[in-house]
Amino acid sequence: MHRICRIGGTALALSLAVSRLGAQSGTDSSAAHAGDTTSSAGRTGHKAPKPDPFAFADFTWLTGNSREKSPLLDTKYFTGEFRSDVNFIADFDNPKDHTLDGAAEAGRTGEVQVQQLGIGGDFHYDNVRGRLMTQFGMYSELTPRDDASPARGQWNLADAYRYISEAYGGYHFNAWNGINVDAGIFLSYIGLFSYYNYDNWAYQPSYVSANTPWFFNGIRIQTFPSDKLKIEYWIINGWQSYASFNDAPGLGTQILWRPTGSFELITNDYWGYDTPNTPTRARVHSDNSVEVKYLDHPASFFDKSAFSVTLDAGCESGGGVQCATGTTARPAQYFLGYMVYDRLWFHKDLFGLTFGNGAITNPGRYLVLLPPINGATATSGTPYFSTSPGTNFNAWDTSITFDYMPSEYITFRGEFNHREANVPYFVGPGGITPSGGNTGPAGSFVQGFTPDLRKTETRFNFAMMVKM
């Protein structure tokens, strides 16, 4: 499930990778220099190089993008990357087992925890490319437990990929403004927010990002018809899955358009059969976002402002469910959600302030993150929280985020979150762990034990995030 895509990956990494490959094949990354080359090309007869995608403006203001403007380690063959995300979650309910649920970005409360420690980078030689990024810390537990696909067949894929967030190799073709063909594990693009919290305006994204895919495993084809447009195609195993849930591959596209340095429009669409052991149930999902920078006055105290709006819609049909107008025999199985954020930078981007709000409705709960009651996973399920067709889930949330950014390589973040649901879902003071720890197989029923689930949650998130 998500977090692109949440918007995974960064425009910086994309721009750097394309720029390097272009430069090594005769394409300079500087728009001004490209203009000079055009004049020279007319005299020499050589074809003028095309500008690199999205290099015409600074897009570090976008949520889901790194605000790092230049990497610290960049050589001819390798660009290094280091990420550290350490958090402390203060839950007002103070659960006795220190457990947080319904979030892919954090899992423990009342403790200092390493959420993500990543080491890796981008490899590049001529037009051959590759990327590797590790994930140690909480992500290596939280991400695999929400994928039920490894339960099908042999070999434990959850362990095989546990410590990898990105791993792929590919080739750059010098056509249009670039074509990239890559194979491996990628951060997804559904949900606007990045998988890495450093890249985002907020620490806890709303449900549209938090309950939708965080990674894809398969083949990605990126095409750039111009330096302002990307059209991308996916042939993947499934919706946030290491393996295939059934037999058909998942198919998807992304269209990303940035006509100016102050506007981004992005749409992601997916189709697949992603219900385990239900090969006739199809899933479609459409994720659509717009980001607009509406103020940019570097000399002013309040120097920059931007907003984002995301609308998601999806449904499942077949295998006993239908998209809408459900009946008792064939319940409706769909997903509708939105999230809006407004971001303000001030004092020369030293500080940032973000206000956010979002909501979802998800009859059948097919995208709801399962509470880890007695160690429950997406594979095990739990008798304490049903995800059967016809079980409705409605929720909303709001957040206020304050950032202190003394360098482009570090962010100190404090955030207030309040979330509500129509059913008991969030961890209460009594916790969701049986006395003495998890008992029996993961997610199993425990005699005499009742998890403490509540309809509301209020907490503060504190984090220090490094990216360089």
Query: 3-class SS at 100?
Result: coil
Residue 190 confidence (pLDDT): 80
Region 306-311 average pLDDT: 97
Parse the chain into domains and list their residue ranges: 11-467
Buried b (16+ CB within 10 A) or exposed e, 226-239: ebbbbebebebbbb
Question: Token pair of 422, please?
Answer: 């129509």
Query: 3-class SS at 102?
Result: coil
Taking only the tens place, the pLDDT of each residue in 257-269 is: 999 999 999 999 9
Cα 328 to chain centroid, rounded:
35
Listed residue (129, 125, 132) closest to 169, CA to CA: 129
Report d(CA 132, CA 151) in Å as an integer: 26
The CATH number, out of the four listed (2.30.29.30, 1.10.760.10, 3.90.1640.10, 2.40.160.10), of the domain defined by the range 11-467: 2.40.160.10
Report d(CA 37, CA 48) in Å as an integer: 6
Strand-strand pairing, 112-125 and 128-134: antiparallel
Residue 266 confidence (pLDDT): 96
Region 50-59 average pLDDT: 94
Listed residue (146, 208, 204) closest to 457, CA to CA: 204
Taking only the tens place, the pLDDT of each residue in 102-119 is: 998 899 999 999 999 999
The pLDDT > 90 percentage for the chain reads 83
Region 377-389 average pLDDT: 93
- Ranges of beta strands (E only) in 195-281 are 215-226, 229-236, 250-260, 263-272
Region 346-351 average pLDDT: 96
CB atoms within 10 A of CB 115: 24
Q: What is the pTM of this model?
A: 0.89
pLDDT range class, residue 16, cuts 50, 70, 90: very low
User: Under a CB-based contact definition with an 8 Å cutoff, are residues 236 and 252 in contact?
Assistant: yes
Residue 214 confidence (pLDDT): 86
User: Mean pLDDT across the chain, nearest whole number?
Assistant: 89
For residue 465, CA distances in Å to 101, 115, 270, 420 come to: 22, 10, 31, 27
Taking only the tens place, the pLDDT of each residue in 395-439 is: 999 999 999 999 999 999 999 999 999 999 999 999 999 998 999
Q: Tell me how far apart the 2 most distant CA atoms of the chain are, in Å.
A: 85
Q: What are the DSSP calls for 4-65, one per residue?
A: -----S-HHHHHHHHHHHHHHTT--S-HHHHHHHHHHHHHH-PPPPPPPTT-SS--TTSTTS
Taking only the tens place, the pLDDT of each residue in 165-178 is: 999 999 999 999 99
Report d(CA 247, CA 79) in Å as an integer: 37
Residue 254 confidence (pLDDT): 96
Residue 46 confidence (pLDDT): 60
Question: Token pair of 330, please?
Answer: 């064939």
Report d(CA 138, CA 146) in Å as an integer: 13
Backbone angles phi, psi at 326, to 5 degrees: -70, 160
Q: Which residues contact 49 (CB under 8 A, 6 or more apart)?
A: 22, 26, 27, 28, 34, 37
